Each structure stands twice: as structure tokens, then as C-alpha cells.
Amino acid sequence: MAGRFAPTPTAALHLGNLRTAVGAWLAARAAGLAFRLRIEDLDQARVQAARGLAASQLDDLAQLGLDWDSPALYQSDRQLVYERALDRIRDLTYECFCTRREIAAAALAPHPDGSAPYPGWCRDLSPAERRRRRQLRPPALRVRADQAQIGFQDLVAGAVTGAVDDFVIRRGDGVFAYHFAVVVDDAAQGVSQVVRGDDLLDSTPRQIWLGRQLGLPQPVYAHLPLVLDHHGARLAKRDRSVGLAGLRAAGLSPARLVSILAASLGLTPPGPRCALAELVSGFDWALTPRRPWLADPASWSDG
Ligand code: GLU
């Protein structure tokens, strides 16, 4: 039984990621769980650069006082594990030859995450038609989810229900999709509690559905509201520089940032600077704010 943090190594961890990591670690330790890390570097094309970024992400986490109970798992090492898991549900999948552009052009209502719902064109292609199209382009694999309705109780967001579309689990270039890898890996790492940003709340019904098809235990979910700037605009994209290195360069110590993050999670830090471990006993989901955190890093000082 474990909690976890699973960064994607495409950039330094920003304030939102650091807050999620702190929340995930505190929730796990308060519940007496182990803590795991996973580097979500599925995209082989970027793996080289990703290893360096992942190392500095782990360093940031350690500076904040996080520890973990086994070496971080790298998704780029796990292609064979994903292939084996796919074999267990192959009869639920079908090949899809559509391009993203074709699907977007047909979309009437995009998903909340901006992606277009799949209109199901390749669902029932004849074997001959599939053979013909394989000559033109390598197919992606989709699951037949039949708009299954999935409901769950989120520790922060409350009751959530969503329909599951025929989502992609392996891209045409053979790279497994995030939704697939995350479900396989959470189970492999014994993750019983998933704490992450609420930008992934809409994806959770897909992941729960997939876990059930694979016969895996379902973790408990807690989705933390996003971090916004003090005008209420998204911080994640615009202010990527608001990471630990940038804050340290501006004179903020990791212990000061831990105290700020703790307060943003509804906890009362023991002082203007504190060690993460001091917060474990006071952690309580009932205190977690249900609204985005409006952060104003320019106003923070170490004092
Ligand atoms: N790798 C994802 C991200 O960095 C998080 C996935 C998850 O926590 O399930 O946004």
C-alpha cells in the first residue's frame, strides 16, 4: 500500500507540481503508507533529455524533504510490461487509423481537456479494410469502452461520474498512452492512494475503467485544485520559471516554501519555515481547500 508522485520530465517542477508532491507525500505518510516515485518518460524521442530533467526533479523533491521507499520507476524501461498487460485485454481493443486532424475536424464538442471525442469510425472495419489501411499507416490501438459510466468518490472533489470513450491506449508509433501506463504502473507499485492535480480529474473514469478490465485493485483518488496566479490565471503554463531553483535564486529557502505550501493545503505550519516531517501528524483531508490556490510568488520572502 503506497502513495506516489509521478512527474513528467519535460520541464522543471513548477509550483503546482511541488505542491502536489508535498500533498501526496504528507497524505501517504499520515496514512502510514509507503511512498513511490515514477518518472513518466514514455515518449522515447525525448528520453535522453528527460533523464537529466528527471534527476533534477528528484533533487528538488529531496530538497523539500520528501523521501521515497524504493528507487524511482522509469516508464521508458517498461515497454515489455505494458505489452504483457495489453495482451490481457487485447480482445477489448481495435486498430484505429484516423489522424488527430481528422478527428478534430469532425468534433462537435471537445472534451474538457481539449481533446476531441472519437467518433468511432474504425470500430467496425472489416479485416480486409484493416489490412488495406495498415499499408498506409501503423494503427493506434483504442479500447471499446461503450461509453461506460464510471463513478467514484474523490477525497477532495467529492462524488464524480464520467463516461468513458474509446480512448487510445497505444499510439501508432508503438508508444503506450499515459492512461494505460499509469494504470499498469500504479498497480505494479502497490499504489493505493493517488494524489494529483485536478487537471486529471476528467481522465480518472477512463483509468478506473481500464483498471477494472485488467483486474487491478482500484486506488483511492484525491485531486488537488490547481495553482493559479494572484489574478486567477493559470500558473502552470505561463510561469514555468516558478520552480524551486527560481525561488531559491530569489532568496526563498526550501523550508520557507514548505511552510507556504503547507498553509496552501489548509495546514497550520509550525513557523515561517518548517520541515516537511513536522506536518505529518496535522495532515487532514478535511482541511484541504476545494478551490484553486491563488499564489503570488513575487510577494514571498524568507522572513
Ligand atoms: N505525469 C503526470 C503529470 O506530470 C501525472 C500523472 C498522474 O499523477 O497520474 O502531469
Please indicate, yes or no, whether residues 123 and 185 belong to a single structural domain of this protein.
yes
- Determine the distance separating the centroid of ligand 1 and the alpha carbon of 249, expressed in angstroms: 27
Percent of the chain with pLDDT over 70: 93
Please indicate, yes or no, whether residues 26 and 88 belong to a single structural domain of this protein.
no
Please indicate, yes or no, whether residues 209 and 230 belong to a single structural domain of this protein.
no
Q: pTM of the prediction?
A: 0.93
CA–CA gap between residue 36 and residue 216 (Å, rounded)? 18
Dihedral, CA atoms, 196, 199, 201, 206, nearest 10 degrees?
Answer: -100
User: Which atom number of ligand 1 is nearest to the Cα of residue 199?
Assistant: 10
Which residues contact ligand 1 via a Cβ below 6 A? 6-8, 40, 182, 196, 200
User: What's the mean per-residue pLDDT of the chain?
Assistant: 92
Pocket test for ligand 1, best of 13, 20, 156, 196 (most atoms within 8 A of CB): 196
CATH label of the domain that carries residue 121: 3.40.50.620
- Determine the distance separating the centroid of ligand 1 and the alpha carbon of 269, expressed in angstroms: 27
Please indicate, yes or no, whether residues 216 and 281 belong to a single structural domain of this protein.
no
Q: Residue 240: which pLDDT band, with cuts at 50, 70 and 90?
A: very low
User: Which atom number of ligand 1 is nearest to the Cα of residue 20?
Assistant: 8
Residue 280 clears pLDDT 50, i.e. is over it? yes
Please indicate, yes or no, whether residues 42 and 86 belong to a single structural domain of this protein.
no
User: Which atom number of ligand 1 is nearest to the Cα of residue 182?
Assistant: 9
Q: Average pLDDT of 260-285?
A: 96
Please indicate, yes or no, whether residues 105 and 171 belong to a single structural domain of this protein.
yes
Please tell me the predicted confidence (pLDDT) of residue 268.
93
Q: Is residue 195 part of a domain?
A: no
Pocket test for ligand 1, best of 4, 5, 8 (most atoms within 8 A of CB): 8
Please tell me the predicted confidence (pLDDT) of residue 162.
94
Residue carrying C-alpha cell 521507499:
69
Please indicate, yes or no, whether residues 214 and 114 belong to a single structural domain of this protein.
yes
Distance from chain centroid for Cα 87: 24
Please tell me the predicted confidence (pLDDT) of residue 115.
63
Please indicate, yes or no, whether residues 19 and 92 belong to a single structural domain of this protein.
no
The dihedral sign for the CA sequence 18, 161, 153, 4: negative
Range of the domain at 173: 78-189+205-220
Q: How many domains does the chain have?
A: 2
Distances in Å between the alpha carbon of 21 and those of 160, 176, 199, 286?
23, 24, 15, 18
Q: Residue 44: which pLDDT band, with cuts at 50, 70 and 90?
A: low
